[in-house]
Amino acid sequence: RADEAVALTCVLPAQPAYDVKANYVKRELYIPMRDGVKLFTIVYAPKDATRRYPMLMTRTAYGIAPYGPENYRTVLGPNNEFAREGYIFVYQDVRGRFRSGGDWMEMRPMLTDRRAVGTDESTDTYDTIAWLLAHVPHHNGRVGMWGISYPGFYAAAALAGAHPALKAVS
């Protein structure tokens, strides 16, 4: 009847559980920036080393727990469909937060002169990507960034003076 509300229930098939620890190797690293500050970074790389993988990176002021080499996230990236597809996942505590060195500044201003000496979120992202490309095996040379809320700010800030390997930002 037109005057009655109709409730529809959408039942999705249950997604099979994804065992991150069974399929990924976790590394905890300190990546040096151009001014010598080291940023704490966690890399999850697929155990399958027969392929090359893109990297998907998130930088945040909120912390990248769980910390500790044996403590794994249960979900990688926006959801585990990305893990099933095969990505290298990179999580980074930004400057001055949690396990990263340096001084934290809320909404650090961008350098207005790209040739100037100094750092901002773009230079920290650039330095991180350059280091990852040189030290993480089995990547395909492409990096994407994603984030919501503060991680979204860091993803957008990476675009100014972006590293050439940064191919997508959401």
What does the pLDDT read at residue 116? 67
Residue 158: which of 108, 117, 115 has the closest Cα?
108
Consecutive 10-residue runs of the chain (170 residues): their mean pLDDT?
A: 50 72 97 97 97 98 97 95 95 97 85 77 96 98 96 94 96
Residue 170: which of 78, 42, 88 has the closest Cα?
78
DSSP state of 111: P
Within a 13 Å sphere around the CA of 31, how many CA atoms are in the beta-carbon half? 28
| Spatial strand order in the sheet of 24-32 | 24-32, 38-46, 88-93, 53-60, 139-145, 166-169
Within a 13 Å sphere around the CA of 23, how many CA atoms are in the beta-carbon half? 18
Beta bridge partners of 88: 55
What are the CA-CA distances from residue 115 to residues 2, 18, 73, 112, 161 (Å)?
66, 45, 38, 9, 10
CA dist 87 and 65 (Å) reads 19
CA dist 95 and 124 (Å) reads 8
What does the pLDDT read at residue 38? 98
Global pTM? 0.88
What does the pLDDT read at residue 2? 52
- Say if CB 87 and CB 53 are below 8 A apart: yes
What does the pLDDT read at residue 16? 66
